[in-house]
Structures are given as structure tokens and as C-alpha cells.
Amino acid sequence: MPGVAASVGKAVALRRRWFLASTLLAAAVAWLAPANAQLNILITKPAARPVPIAVVPFGWQSSGPAAFDLAAVVTADLRSTGRFAPLPAADMVTRPTEPAQVNFQSWRLLKTDYLVIGKLTEDSPDRFTAVFELFDVVRGEQSLGFRLQAGRGDLRATAHKISDMIFEKITGIPGVFSTQIAYVSEERRANNARRFRLIVSDADGENARVIADSPQPLMSPAWSPDARRLAYVSFEGQQAAIYVQTLRTGTRERVSSRPGVNSAPSFSPDGRLLALTLSHDNGNLDVYTLDLATQQLKQLTTDDAIDTEPSWSPDGRTVYFTSDRAGGPQVYRVGVNGGRPERVSYDGVYNARPRLSPDGKTIAVVYGQNNTYKIGAVDAANGMLRVLTTGRLDESPSFAPNGAQIIYATRENGRGVLASVSTDGLIQTQIASVAGDVREPVWGPFPRP
Amino acid sequence: MKNVLWIMLVAAVFSVTACGKSNTKGATSSAASTVPSSSSSTTGSDSGGGIAVSSIDAAQAELMRQLVVYFDYDQAEVKPEFNAMLAAHGQYLAKNATATVRLEGNTDERGSREYNIGLGERRAQSVRRLLMLQGAQASQLTTVSYGEERPASTGSTEEAWRLNRRVELVYSR
């Protein structure tokens, strides 16, 4: 792909402050094919008091129609979190694009706490400069001001970058608009044939790209910590195997196809090891680590029970997993060098699929009780459980890299859909697919500069 | 009479072999296609001039046509009602060393997907053990667990879940 990405500009003097933006936007990557499935995010339960903000349509500094509507993407990003209530453009009395045009009193009358204005300029064919400023309307002062430069193919990414900066400035939480998610879709054809796809999209569901496509099940996608590779399970050839695929090139390696179960891959935080579940011939599932460079396999658990769904602590020293050694499935942890596992979850009869928050303090689980399955959050220190969701068949929780949100799969009117919940359980959104069932969402890491 | 029985036995074995072949082709489509249609495997005992011949072999053939074992919720223990069927398959495999069967473990949709892979494998292993008790060799048996990924029946009802908690026997030769 053309090496467009992203320079981010030098700081410009914008009223009172100087800022130096130094982050590169993620480079564009090559994909197999565009996906049919796209996602629409609905706020099912907004924050109690979403922040009123106005994102004014950006000025366009060249001839012809504007190359891209940055403000529309920023508005959608902020709204999708449930934490913001953007003012509809139709309700804007004025549409300033320069700081000098801003009349704070008129925005206060619209009960807007924050105001975003900006301009997009075409510097040369395929080179653009976006300038934006965030104002605290109540205080009547500028909070942020940045200039970003990008090629045409990176204008959407530029909008997400702007959203990230605004979101972090106002909430204190890093934005995740520039991250990606992976998920599995299944479509049923007229002849009852099934089509499984592994899809990677931007966090807002746009730019969906098919990573793998099979008539046999695909499952358990897992991101590498550098966001460049995905591990997943494929049943092509009527047997389970784990693949690691490089997203940019599409090349993939079959890293485990032993007899029986090959499943539940999870990259270690340094990307060197893959935790996985194997059953070998005897059908007893245990958790192992596989050194991806040397192929060395190390067994972490030895119980006769089902031991599976490994997930790493952020420091890479501990592996959490599901085991039904005490009857029903519960969460346990074991050191990366093995040893005696310790039980972590006690609340309820079914706690499975642990996933650690980025700070390692919270474990998202599938919590089963009275024939319903919801997403729970277990305190890693004391095992206390909070139930976060209200569905009947919720599964596959995955933390956003800022730790503020958990994406998961649920069912709505018989269809598989995705949903998200804030880690405090207060904000909920549903992410519906345009076509087919979608499931097993996994949130990718922050893009690396 | 002895001849009749012999013919029936041949017919029974043949029908199983034939079914096995069609299974390989149909394996990628719906689960229902792995169950052979009854029309191709009738042994002819019923058409023998109204004489009620109920031979052991016919019973075996009938059992051999059953290719799905169903399980209770969150259980991997084979229920007694499937013992006779699995005994028939195990004895057939013991007598036919070149026959191989793939045991596909499945679960209903409830709970965690990867844990369900474990549960499906446990079910497949339960069936494997019973077949081996009848003399089937390990080399004739492979297992694969699809967990909840290949439901025989869609929908979130008790009936769909009952049909999905299963092990399918898929003969390949």
C-alpha cells in the first residue's frame, strides 16, 4: 500500500497554547477483501449525564467539495461511547471555523459545555492538513489545539485521532477510536451451507476487512500485542488447528495441529509465547505455552478436568484460565513457569473465559446463573464479582485497551450481535451487524507509534 | 434360513459402508445429512413374504444406522439408552479393521465457546471409550470437538439445545 500515513505536524500557535503532536497514525495495510458485514453502534444505556459538546462542521480550504467530513466522524465517535451528547449540526446557530469567530455566550445558551472547530486544507494533491481546536465553553478558553497532516487515505484515521485527543482531554481516559476490533461472522446460505469469516474493522465498525473465510468454523481470534498478527482456530479439514496470520501480508502459519483439541490461543504480552489449549490423544484439555520462535511446548496445567481459555496478566507472569476441576467452570491462575494453580473466582456456579483488564486488577468473565449467562467483573485481588450485563446469552468479553469498556457478544432477536458495557456497568451500547451473525469480538491493542 | 441370515448380514454391512461413503461427501453440510436415510439400508427381512424374521443381524443393522448420541446439559456421560447402539458400532469396528470413524463432539450454545470445546471433546471421548471397550482400536477413532460452532438445530429453545448436545459418528471408509 502507498506509504501514506501520517505525519503529524509540528505544533502551531493556536491562541494560548502550543502543542506538539507526535503520534504517527497507523499505516494503511493490505487486506484480502472488503467484508459485507458492517457494524452500527446504538447507545442502549447512555451515561447518566452525557457531556454536551458541539462539533462544528470543519471549514474546507480548497476548491470543490470537501475531501472528507472530519466533524461527522468525530461526532459519531464521541456519541458512540455513550458519554457524550453531541449537538446536531442543524441546531448550531453559528458555524465558526476560526477561533476569532467563536462567541462563547451563544454556545452557553445552547447548553454546550465543549466546542470543537476546525479546518481541512488540501496542501497538494493527496496531502492534507487538519487543524482543530477544543474549547471549554463554560470557562471560555481553549483546551486543545492541534495540526495534523495526512494523505487522503488517512483522513478517517485523522478524524479518529482528533476524537482520541478530545476524549482524553475531557474524560481523562485515553480514547480507543484509533484501535481495531476482530470478530467472527457467520452467514447461512439458502442451501444451509455456512460461511464463517474472520473480520478486522476499525473500532467503529468501518473499514471491515475479511481476514479468513471458510465453510468450516473459525473461532477464538486473538491479537498479537503489536496489533500486526491474529491467532485463531480454524476447523478446515474437519480438525482443529491454530493459525497465526500476519494482517498486512495475509500470510499465515499453522502453529498447532496436534491430535484432538487445538484451541484458545492467547499471545503473551511480549508476543513471544502463545498460550493455548491442547488435548492430545487422551482428550484431557490442558493449558500450554508455545514459544513461537523455537516451537518449544511447555505444559502449565495437568489436571484431569477441562483446563482452557488461558489469558495473560499484563506483566506476563501469570496465566489465568478456566477449569472445572471443582465441578463447574471457575477461574484459576498459575505462574507462567507452572506450579500449583490457585482458584480466583468463587461467586456463582459458572465463571469462565477470564480476560484481564489492562491494569490487571479486574477479570472479565462469563458468569452463568439460573440458566442465563452474563458478563461479570471479578476483582483479581479478592475474587468479588459484579454482574455488568443483563442479557441471557452474553459471552466472549474483551477489554478495550483503555480498560474503560468491555466488548462482548450477545443475542438479539435470535441473531448474534456485539455489545459493549463500561467497566462500571453504567453505559451500554449495542453493535449490530448489517448481515449475518457476529460474535467473539476481541479488541485490539493501541496502535504503536 | 442360514442363507437368508447370511445375506442379511452382508446387506447390513454393505449398507453401513455405503452410508459411510455418502457421509464423507455430506460432512460439510448440515448435521442431519450424516444420518443415513432409512430407505437405503432396509435389509429385506420385512419383504420376506410376511414372515416375521427378527434376526440379531437386522437389529444390529438398525442400531448401526443410528449415528448420533445425545447428552444431558453439561454432561459427558453416555446415557444407557445409547449403550446398545454404541456396542453395535464398536463390534463392527472390531470386525472391520479398515473402518475408521470420526467422533464429532458438540454442545448447545450456552456458556463460553472455548469451555464448550472442552465439553464437546469430553463427550467425544466418552463415546470413544465405549467403542474401544467393544474392541475398536484407537487407530480407527479420531475425535474433533466443534463445541457450539456447528449446531444441528438453530434457535435458543430447550428442544434445539437437546438436539445440539451430541456426538456424531462419521464413518470415512
Name the pTM for this structure: 0.85
Using CB atoms within 10 Å of the CB of residue A9, give its burial: 0 to 12 exposed, 13 to 18 middle, 19+ buried. Answer: middle
Picking from B122, B64, B120, the residue whose alpha carbon sits closest to that of residue B93 is B64
Distance from CA of B38 to the nearest CA of A (A): 22
Residues A41-60, mean pLDDT to the nearest whole number: 92
Residues A374-390, mean pLDDT to the nearest whole number: 96
What's the confidence (pLDDT) of residue A13? 33
Tell me the three cell numbers of residue A83: 458519554
What's the confidence (pLDDT) of residue B173? 56
Q: Which of B74, B113, B121 lies at the smallest CB-CB distance from A285?
A: B121
B121 contacts A192? CB cut-off 8 A: no
B28 contacts A216? CB cut-off 8 A: yes
Query: Is the CB of residue B117 less than 8 Å away from at least one CB of chain A?
Result: yes
A393 contacts B109? CB cut-off 8 A: yes
Query: Is the CB of residue A120 less than 8 Å away from at least one CB of chain B?
Result: no
User: How do residues A219-232 score in pLDDT, each as one tens digit?
Assistant: 999 999 999 999 99
What's the confidence (pLDDT) of residue A38? 65
Residues A15-19, mean pLDDT to the nearest whole number: 32
Q: Which residues of A touch B23 (CB under 8 A)?
A: none
Query: Is the CB of residue B65 less than 8 Å away from at least one CB of chain A?
Result: no
**Angular region, A178: left φ>0, alpha ψ -120 to 50, beta rest:** alpha
Residues A22-44, mean pLDDT to the nearest whole number: 48
Helices marked H in A230-281: none
Q: What is the mean pLDDT of chain B?
A: 77
Q: Which of A239, A282, A353 lies at the smallest CB-CB distance from B114?
A: A353
B111 contacts A373? CB cut-off 8 A: yes
Using CB atoms within 10 Å of the CB of residue A139, give its burial: 0 to 12 exposed, 13 to 18 middle, 19+ buried. Answer: exposed
* Under 8 Å between Cβ of A146 and A159: no
Band (B155; pLDDT cuts 50, 70, 90)? confident
Picking from A370, A333, A321, A332, the residue whose alpha carbon sits closest to that of residue A349 is A370
What's the confidence (pLDDT) of residue B37? 33
Q: What percent of chain A has pLDDT over 70?
A: 91
Q: What is the mean pLDDT of chain A?
A: 90
Least confident of A334-338, B59-63, B93-97: B59-63
Q: Is A357 helix (H, G, I), strand (E, B) or coil?
A: coil
B145 contacts A309? CB cut-off 8 A: no
Give, as one character, the DSSP assignment of residue A56: P
What's the confidence (pLDDT) of residue A41? 81
What's the confidence (pLDDT) of residue B150? 95
What's the confidence (pLDDT) of residue B49? 54
Provide the Cα torsion A197, A308, B123, A235; round to 10°: 20
Query: Is the CB of residue A184 less than 8 Å away from at least one CB of chain B?
Result: no
Using CB atoms within 10 Å of the CB of residue A412, give its burial: 0 to 12 exposed, 13 to 18 middle, 19+ buried. Answer: middle
Report the distance separating Cα A205 and Cα A184, nearest Å.
13
- Whether pLDDT at A29 is above 80: no
Query: Is the CB of residue A349 less than 8 Å away from at least one CB of chain B?
Result: no
Which of A219, A236, A278, A349 would you mutate first to test chain B, the one with the most B CBs within 10 A?
Answer: A219
- Whether pLDDT at A9 is above 70: no
Q: Which of B27, B119, B150 lies at the smallest CB-CB distance from A217?
A: B150
User: How do residues B108-119 score in pLDDT, each as one tens digit?
Assistant: 999 999 999 999
B156 contacts A414? CB cut-off 8 A: yes
Tell me the three cell numbers of residue A126: 493527496
The count of residues in chain B is: 173
Band (A414; pLDDT cuts 50, 70, 90)? confident
B102 contacts A396? CB cut-off 8 A: no
For A217-245, letters b (16+ CB in 10 Å) and e give: bbbbbbbbbebbbbbbbbbbebbbbbbbb
- Whether pLDDT at B44 is above 90: no
List the single residue in A with minimal CA-CA distance to B31: A192
Which of B25, B109, B112 would you mutate first to test chain A, the one with the most A CBs within 10 A?
Answer: B112
A263 contacts B114? CB cut-off 8 A: yes
Query: Is the CB of residue B128 less than 8 Å away from at least one CB of chain A?
Result: yes
Query: Is the CB of residue A276 less than 8 Å away from at least one CB of chain B?
Result: no
User: How do residues A33-43 score in pLDDT, each as one tens digit?
Assistant: 444 446 788 88
DSSP-assigned states of every residue in chain B: -HHHHHHHHHHHHHHHHHHHHHHHHHTTS-GGGGSPPGGGG--SSTTTTT-----HHHHHHHHHT--EEE--TT--SPPGGGHHHHHHHHHHHHH-TT--EEEEEE--S-S-HHHHHHHHHHHHHHHHHHHHHTT--GGGEEEEEEETSS-SS-SSSHHHHHHHSEEEEEE--
Tell me the three cell numbers of residue A301: 496445567
Q: Which residue has the cell 485463531?
A: A232
Report the distance separating Cα A157 and Cα A163, nearest Å.
10
**Element of type H or E holding A66:** none
Query: Is the CB of residue A329 less than 8 Å away from at least one CB of chain B?
Result: yes
Q: Which residues of A touch B143 (CB under 8 A)?
A: 260, 283
Query: Is the CB of residue B27 less than 8 Å away from at least one CB of chain A?
Result: yes
Tell me the three cell numbers of residue A234: 480454524
Tell me if ipTM is over 0.90.
no
Distance from CA of B143 to the nearest CA of A (A): 6
Query: Is the CB of residue B6 less than 8 Å away from at least one CB of chain A?
Result: no
**Angular region, A336: left φ>0, alpha ψ -120 to 50, beta rest:** alpha
- Whether pLDDT at A410 is above 60: yes
A393 contacts B110? CB cut-off 8 A: yes
Report the distance separating Cα B112 and Cα B103, nearest Å.
22
Provide the β-strand partners of residue B170.
Answer: B102
Tell me the three cell numbers of residue A430: 449495542
What is the amino acid identity at position A227? Answer: A
